[in-house]
């Protein structure tokens, strides 16, 4: 039961205006009057595997529905947060969290688009980015198989939905990253046409290295597309899972043994230890640059 004087904090990422709509819901019931509650948005910023530490140490944005809500919410977080508290209004706090992930998505999209461009120009995207980053004011990210997890692939769409005419770049970046798994899959299946009974090995299913988190993973989309195509036998290795509903998992030695085409989709440390000779005489599509980084 919500009572006058309660502090209600929304930490989940949400579209701009969500806190205001929450206030309308509470105050529209007739039981509460504006100002009876303290309502605020304080978006979480935590990395899986470091949640307890980052809840305390990370800086927090505190955005209240009104000034008293901002102050009361800040007082609450000061009891356990050692990081800086940045006070603002709720709509700005909601937008700032979305902007953080949209920024990352746009920058990843630039790197992913460079990988497509480099393929057309028949040049090494990793060397191209490395050379471009020699410029003191350039810091291009690394391309990959796409973008996964529950934040970056989702949050930009909140901004696009809120202001469709003002978010052309954000929408375009989302499209680039969403198409990257299909581009990798198409390349693999083109190579498969060269073999009588092709075998494709997919190394990795997680959305990032060295975790067991599969949410929105582009690697899963690529592996599933390979399987559903019916154009090749499939071997899947994911060292951070014991089993998967869609795939029969094998170790990397088994995956590589009879593979004609190898898709390196996640830069797990386990894969960095695979001997180079295991990749010989195979078509390698290294979507995350693991072999280049390992052999440097």
On whether residue 40 sits in a domain, the answer given is yes
Q: How confident is the model at residue 71 (pLDDT cuts 50, 70, 90)?
A: very high
Boundary-marking domain end, from 94, 127, 155: 94
On whether residue 101 sits in a domain, the answer given is no
Boundary-marking domain end, from 94, 122, 156: 94
Residue 265 is classified by DSSP as -
- pLDDT of 48 reads 66
On whether residue 250 sits in a domain, the answer given is yes
Asked if 88 and 189 sit in the same domain, the reply is no
Domain total of the chain: 2
In this predicted structure, the answer to whether residue 131 has a pLDDT above a threshold of 80 is yes
Q: State the catalytic residue, choosing from 73, 142, 151, 202.
A: 151
Q: Is 202 a catalytic residue?
A: no
Read off the pLDDT of each residue in 178-205 and give the average, rounded to a whole number. 97
Q: Name the strands in the sheet holding 261-264, side by side, starting at the edge strand that comes first in the sequence.
A: 233-237, 199-203, 261-264, 283-286
On whether residue 212 sits in a domain, the answer given is yes
Contact indicator for 180, 105 with CB cutoff of 8 Å: no
On whether residue 167 sits in a domain, the answer given is no
In this predicted structure, the answer to whether residue 68 has a pLDDT above a threshold of 90 is yes
254-292 pLDDT, tens digit per residue, is 999 999 999 999 999 999 999 999 999 999 999 999 998
Domain that holds residue 202: 184-294
217-246 pLDDT, tens digit per residue, is 999 999 999 999 999 999 999 999 999 999
On whether residue 82 sits in a domain, the answer given is yes
Q: Is 196 a catalytic residue?
A: no
On whether residue 197 sits in a domain, the answer given is yes
Give the three-state DSSP class for 42. coil
Boundary-marking domain end, from 94, 125, 147: 94
Q: What percent of the chain has pLDDT over 90?
A: 89
Q: State the catalytic residue, choosing from 73, 97, 180, 208.
A: 97
Contact indicator for 157, 174 with CB cutoff of 8 Å: yes
Q: Which helix (H) or strand (E) holds 248?
A: none
- pLDDT of 46 reads 75
Looking at residue 43, which CATH number applies to its domain? 3.40.50.720
**Token output for 204:** 């990795």
């Amino acid at each position: 039961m919500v009572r006058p004087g309660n502090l209600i904090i929304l930490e989940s990422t949400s579209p701009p205006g969500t806190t205001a709509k929450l206030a309308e819901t509470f105050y529209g019931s007739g039981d509460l009057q504006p100002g009876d509650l303290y309502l605020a948005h304080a978006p979480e910023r935590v990395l899986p595997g470091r949640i307890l530490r980052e809840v305390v140490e990370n800086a927090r944005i505190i955005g209240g529905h009104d000034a008293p809500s901002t102050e009361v919410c800040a007082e609450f977080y000061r009891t356990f947060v050692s990081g800086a508290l940045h006070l603002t209004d709720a709509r700005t706090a909601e937008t700032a969290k979305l902007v953080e992930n949209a920024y990352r998505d746009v920058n990843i999209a630039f790197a992913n688009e460079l990988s497509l461009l480099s393929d057309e120009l028949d040049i090494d995207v990793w060397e191209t980015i490395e050379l471009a980053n020699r410029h003191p004011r350039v810091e291009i990210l690394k391309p990959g198989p796409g973008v996964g997890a529950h934040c970056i692939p989702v949050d930009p769409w909140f901004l696009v939905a809120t202001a469709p005419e003002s978010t052309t770049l954000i929408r375009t970046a989302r499209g680039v990253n969403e198409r990257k798994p299909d581009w990798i899959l198409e390349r693999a299946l083109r190579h498969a046409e060269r073999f009588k009974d092709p075998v494709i090995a997919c190394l990795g299913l997680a959305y990032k290295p060295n975790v067991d988190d599969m949410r929105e993973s582009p690697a899963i989309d690529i592996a599933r597309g390979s399987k559903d195509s019916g154009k090749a036998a499939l071997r899947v290795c994911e060292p951070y899972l014991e089993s998967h509903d869609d795939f029969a998992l094998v170790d990397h030695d088994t995956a590589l043994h009879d593979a004609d085409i190898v898709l390196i989709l996640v830069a797990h440390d386990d894969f960095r230890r695979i001997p180079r000779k295991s990749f010989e005489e195979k078509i390698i599509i290294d979507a995350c640059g693991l072999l280049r980084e390992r052999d440097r």
